[in-house]
Chains A and B, each alone.
Chain A
Amino acid sequence: MAAVTSRGQRFGRPVAILAILAVTLIFLSPILWIGATAFKPRAVATSVPPTVFFEPEVTPFVKLLTKRVQLKQPVAPEVYEAAPWWEKLVYDGGERVLKVGDEPQLSQYPNRFLNSLIVSIVSTVLAVSMGTITAYGFSRFKIKGEQDLLFFILSTRMLPPVVVAIPMFLMYRQFDLTDSHVGLIILYTAFNLSFSVWLMKGFIDEIPKEYEEAALVDGYTRMQAFFKIVLPEAATGIAATAVFCFITAWNEYAFALIMTNRRAQTAPPFIPSQIGSGLPEWTVIAAGTVLFLLPVAIFTFLLRNHLLRGVTFGAIRK
């Protein structure tokens, strides 16, 4: 037994590590490329053959966050000298930052980014909390037509969402929900809810009902038992569901493109809109993409322990 294990490990280990490395590299290469582009000088970004080694600069990020116009003529040296480092970078590119009084004007990107955050966070909180309560009901109570209802909930995910985009758009226009945060939040919540219910039902089914029953006989109401016992026990599942809902809402493109154009526009439709006419600034777009990737990465990283347990939930419990 021991011999078999150790031989398996001696050969298996390095092979497994190599395989994981290879797969990881394949999956990460687009992200590495975008990440590199975000720090490239403009000319280097589009050079053929591609440049792998270059001197990184943060100019794309400065450009991403500010409104700029082309300089008609080079700025006076004393103005240049007096400018802060980021403004110098813009001057170097033959542009200047637009200002109102002394305040530099921000581009639309921070606003779109904020929209993404608002819509994703609120819809995630709604989808997860509603999903958890619904799943609890399905898991703990006898419900007439339970299987049919659950199937119906799942069936809302069975056709590609874009199919209903036009009718949704018409409805939204009728209710004045186009280009509004509320509109997108409703959409994303509804979209994530079915998944949230199903995922949470799986997790809550795994929590022995004796835990709550112990709380019930110990003098707690069902509501208190839910908050004091079920929620903490379901934390792993809630984290996993939240990450999933957040990623779905954060990355959603099609509806955001159709339903919003200005006030409530999120980052995904905004970033490609920068390509616009004329020469696209690939480095700026890459910078926008890199910033866009951060929240999901941070969120997932913070919840990584819960996620790992979530994946192997059934396995360790017993």
Chain B
Amino acid sequence: MAEIELRHIQKYFGAVHVIRDVNLTIRDREFVVLLGPSGCGKTTTLRAIAGLEEISSGEILIDGKPVQNLHASERDIAFVFQLYALYPHLSVFENIAFPLKATGMAKAEVDRSVMAIADALAIHHLLSLRPSALSGGDMQRVAIGRALVRRPKALLLDEPIGALDAKLREDMRVELKRLHLENGSTSIYVTHDQVEAMSLADRIVVMHDGILQQVGTPSEVYLRPANLFVAQFIGSPVMNIAEASITSSGGKVAVELDGESFAMPHDLVGMLVEKNADRISLGVRPEGVLLSHEEKAGYRPVEAHIIQPYGPFDIVDLRVGSQTLRARTHTGFVEKAGERVWARIDPAQAHFFDTASGNSLEIRLSE
């Protein structure tokens, strides 16, 4: 197992700048998820670490040793491809044994290692089959077995369960988590699915347009998004974001969204002045929008116009001026569209961003 360090990685495809000055350290035994929308450069980053893609500049270190000039075969890293890339002309057993044969391992030892990994993945009954006879989930298990069998320094996975259907994806997610807990291999996992990222990662690396937006634990990334992109990319339904202005009159501070004002604690003014931002945006997740049937201090009346039942909770769209504020309520809280309720933005769950740069102002309010 190993530590992987990326220093100032740049990658151009022709004139297209795909990876922009990426710096990242993946600690030994850590499970890091590279999360970002399609086309943001996740696969390219992963392939660069594996040695399948040459970087334009920068350094890749494995256990402190620069490897950017080594061939893929010399880096001792395993790669699980999005579409598994199991060799169609070899049986499952031969597929898993394939990396071991490269090392010139004795046959008895190869057999023992393949059996051990087949046990760990519960794929004994598949060993004699051809990949074409396997289901998607089993193909993925075999691909992971082939990656883990030679105990590589690190395991790279490129959307390994993206092609499976939803139910199977959930099972495989748990299985991957279990495998990582058992093996503790340093892993970099690429996905565009935030649920996968949140549930698997020790740390999430959010990527956009080839730039690392934020690196942090799942809760850090969720609770303290570094910028508007992260705030909107993570969390479902999406965080409410709107340009806001802060008003302070008669000792009362409020945030004004499209002419409608929501009460905020006093401290906000001082904090904002300190940040000196021209225009600010307010972000609040649906669960940070609190609703009440009766009038309460700090709550203001709004009209509910769309109700989406999710099962364990409802998502209610509230009309605020010409904009929509999305709230999460318990099931059946608002009975029908058109109903009037009282709403409040929970200051503890409010995020403030500099509209121009998109960066978080790092203002955290508690009451």
Contacts and interface: CB of A to CB of B under 8 A. Distances in A.
Given A208-B85, A210-B85, A218 B146 contact: yes
B292 to A, nearest CB: 55
A220 interface: yes
A217 B98 contact: no
Interface string B65-81: 00000011101111101
B216 interface: no
B50 A217 contact: yes
A87 interface: no
Given A208-B83, A210-B81, A232-B89, A216 B52 contact: yes
A252 interface: no
A224 B101 CA distance: 12
A275 interface: no
Contacts of B150: 218-219
A213 interface: yes
B229 interface: no
A208 B81 CA distance: 11
Interface residues of B, number: 23
B322 to A, nearest CB: 48
B73 A214 contact: no
A213 B87 contact: no
A218 B102 CA distance: 7
B102 A217 contact: no
B136 interface: no
B88 interface: yes
Contacts of A218: 73, 78, 98-99, 102, 146, 150
Contacts of B76: 219
Contact of A216 (B72, B88, B89, B103): B72
A229 interface: yes
Given A232-B89, A233-B88, A233-B89, A216 B73 contact: yes
Contacts of B50: 217
A161 B29 CA distance: 65
B51 interface: yes
Contact of B79 (A213, A220, A224, A233): A213
A213 B146 contact: no
Interface string A4-28: 0000000000000000000000000
A232 B94 CA distance: 14
A217 B83 contact: no
A216 B74 CA distance: 9
Contact of B51 (A208, A210, A217, A221): A217
A221 B79 CA distance: 16
B307 to A, nearest CB: 40
Contacts of B78: 217-218
Between B83, B87, B150, the greatest number of chain A beta carbons within 10 A of the residue's beta carbon is seen for B87
Interface string A35-78: 00000000000000000000000000000000000000000000
Contacts of A210: 81, 83, 85
Between B77, B88, B146, the greatest number of chain A beta carbons within 10 A of the residue's beta carbon is seen for B88
A221 B73 contact: yes
A210 B76 CA distance: 17
Interface in A223-250: 224, 229, 232-233, 235
A51 to B, nearest CB: 53
Nearest to A225: B73
Contacts of A211: 85, 87
19 contacts: A210-B81, A213-B79, A213-B81, A214-B79, A214-B146, A216-B51, A216-B52, A217-B50, A217-B78, A218-B73, A218-B99, A218-B102, A218-B146, A219-B73, A219-B76, A220-B102, A232-B87, A233-B89, A235-B89
Given A213-B79, A215-B98, 5 more contacts: A208-B83, A214-B79, A219-B103, A229-B87, A233-B88
Interface of A: 208, 210-211, 213-221, 224, 229, 232-233, 235
